[in-house]
Structure 1
Amino acid sequence: MMNGISPRYQMSIVQNINDRLFELYKSYEDVANYLDKWHIVYDCYGDNENFYFYFKDEERKKLDVKKTLHHIDGETLLKIAIDLGVETPDYIPSIPVFKNELKSSYETASQTFEKAFKNVEEDPSLAVGLANSALESIIKEILKDTRINVVWGEKDTLYSLIKSITKAFKLTAEVGMPDEIKTISTSLVGACKAIEDLRSGKTIFHGKMDSNYIISDSLYAYFIVNAVSTVGLFLLNFYKAKYPPIVQPTIDVDDLPF
């Protein structure tokens, strides 16, 4: 997580968090109860806290949400934003666009990726594993298109799937394609293999002993989740460009001979 967050960005994210809170929770009481989950008191006297609650009335029943949020540190604000599903494009740029693409046609992958995104801070290991699974789901959905002539299996994992789809899309063998693009495409396969290896060897997904290394730093999880969104977005856009949806012809009932 980034420690230095600009005041301008904090102003923007506070407004977005405020709007989202009242979209999800309709009362000041529920909003206050939610923010209280992020509130930490460091001593038994209540004099040392990570942030303070500000109210609009003397009875302390109507929380001044914006003022409270403005006095929360930037790192915690980002964690709250992620928990609420508020976009954070300055920190994970491609994710907002990617999430919108998934919601339109890839429900399973969308739900999996949402879980990955929300667990980046809380459980980095889980986030990496889910991001891997989301990318697998996307590639499988694309490869189901009967116009794509490549052999693959339902049990294929990410490394096999990315090799299949790059072969189908001719990303490493297209005649006339610049060598630099082919090099990037080959690196894409290597990146997906690394993501799969992380999921298999460095996350909780395959059962680990106490002595095994498990990803626990959210910075690595951000890196992987952002990488998955970038790769996934490219594959989705390439697929739509090369294999546009087939439009079924409509029949005007007035033209029928009976």
Structure 2
Amino acid sequence: MNDLISPKYQMKLIKEINEAIWREFNSYEQVRYYISKWHEDNYDQNGFNDYYWENFKIVENESKKINLLATLNSMDGTTLLKVAIDLGVDTPDFIPSIPTFKNEVKSEYITAYDTFQKAYKQIESDPSLAIGLANSALESIIKEILKDNRISSKISGRETLYKLTLIIVKEFNLTDPQQPNEIKTIGSSLIAIGQAIEILRSDKTNFHGKTTGDYLITDTIFAYFLINSVATVGLFINSYYKTKYPKRQDQQVQSEESEDNLPF
């Protein structure tokens, strides 16, 4: 993973992480406590360890306070990415669809947004869990869209992602025989993606329980790949829905009134 993050992007990320940490924690002491939770070493207080190791160096200034910028620069790319995700710092150069997707779903699909946020934060620490949560987030978006009474298909609420994708692709007429072959291919590909995500969640993560010898996704790169795919598919489905079924006037007024009542 570290090899995938260029030095130039790491420098950009360091700047944004530095700013995010000082916004989040208002004292040198709190910043030091936070950074220390990411620090790992094999220090032996008895002095018997001849091979000292640490994952990054906590740098101090002349006053013995943490020099955050220098400390962040001593971190490897993978650790920087984990810290960025923990702080909610967007990483558009590494996961390009994520910031746009989060902005789109935040106001319209609260449950999906919360689930996706949890998935995003689990990418590095638990790729298997991240994949399962991303699957659930996409399910939530499609279910919410299918609640629209202008859509003929009705669901029971127990449908899996594959079944939901089949329904919404049919509603959008993406596989209609009258469509150009290229459009039908894209529609069929969306169904295949929905099915693949569901199978990964069911068979390659610990959501349904695993036994010794079962394959379990543990490589974070696959979690990044899948979550970026979920964001891309989610963006398309939501965009197509808003174009095909534009918000009615009464919904628009209700939405604006709701925004006016926000406490900020």
TM-score by length of 2: 0.88
Q: Deviations over 1:105-148 (max 9, x none)?
A: 11100010011111011011101100000000000000001111
Q: Deviations over 1:23-68 (max 9, x none)?
A: 221211111111111111134258432211222333x1x3211111
Which has the larger displacement, 125-134 or 165-174? 165-174
Change (3 A) 1:134 1:29: same
Structure 2 CA distance for aligned equivalents of residues 216 and 209 of structure 1: 15
Contact 1:142 1:239 in 2 (8 A): yes
User: Is 1:138 the equivalent of 2:134?
Assistant: no
User: Is 1:185 the equivalent of 2:187?
Assistant: yes
Contact 2:147 2:154 in 1 (8 A): no
Aligned equivalent of 2:125, options 122, 127, 131: 122
| Paired residue type of 2:25 | Y
* Residue number in structure 2 paired with 1:82: 85
Q: Deviations over 1:56-113 (max 9, x none)?
A: 333x1x3211111112111211111112111111111101100111111111000100
Deviation at 1:17, TM superposition (A): 0.5
* Partner SS, residue 244 of structure 1: coil
* Equivalences, count: 247
| Paired residue type of 2:196 | A
Q: What are the equivalent positions in structure 2 for 1:94-109 lying under 5 Å apart?
A: 94-109=97-112
Contact 2:174 2:186 in 1 (8 A): no
| Paired residue type of 2:168 | I
User: Is 1:30 the equivalent of 2:33?
Assistant: no
User: Is 1:49 the equivalent of 2:54?
Assistant: yes
Deviation at 1:215, TM superposition (A): 1.2
Which has the larger displacement, 96-105 or 146-155? 146-155
Over aligned residues, Cα RMSD in angstroms? 1.7
Aligned equivalent of 2:232, options 224, 227, 230: 230
| Paired residue type of 1:142 | I
* Residue number in structure 1 paired with 2:261: none
Q: What are the equivalent positions in structure 2 for 1:182-221 lying under 5 Å apart?
A: 182-221=184-223
* Partner SS, residue 105 of structure 1: coil
| Paired residue type of 1:51 | F
Structure 2 CA distance for aligned equivalents of residues 172 and 237 of structure 1: 18
* Partner SS, residue 107 of structure 2: helix
| Paired residue type of 1:172 | T
* Residue number in structure 2 paired with 1:17: 17
Change (3 A) 1:129 1:20: same
Contact 1:128 1:225 in 2 (8 A): yes
Contact 2:2 2:76 in 1 (8 A): no
Gapped regions of structure 2 (runs ≥ 5): 254-264
| Paired residue type of 2:165 | I
| Paired residue type of 1:48 | W
Contact 1:17 1:86 in 2 (8 A): yes
* Residue number in structure 2 paired with 1:170: 173
Structure 2 CA distance for aligned equivalents of residues 224 and 6 of structure 1: 21
* Residue number in structure 1 paired with 2:68: 65
Deviation at 1:192, TM superposition (A): 0.8
Structure 1 CA distance for aligned equivalents of residues 181 and 241 of structure 2: 21
| Paired residue type of 1:226 | N
Structure 1 CA distance for aligned equivalents of residues 195 and 5 of structure 2: 33
Structure 1 CA distance for aligned equivalents of residues 36 and 219 of structure 2: 25
* Residue number in structure 1 paired with 2:5: 5
Contact 1:151 1:164 in 2 (8 A): no
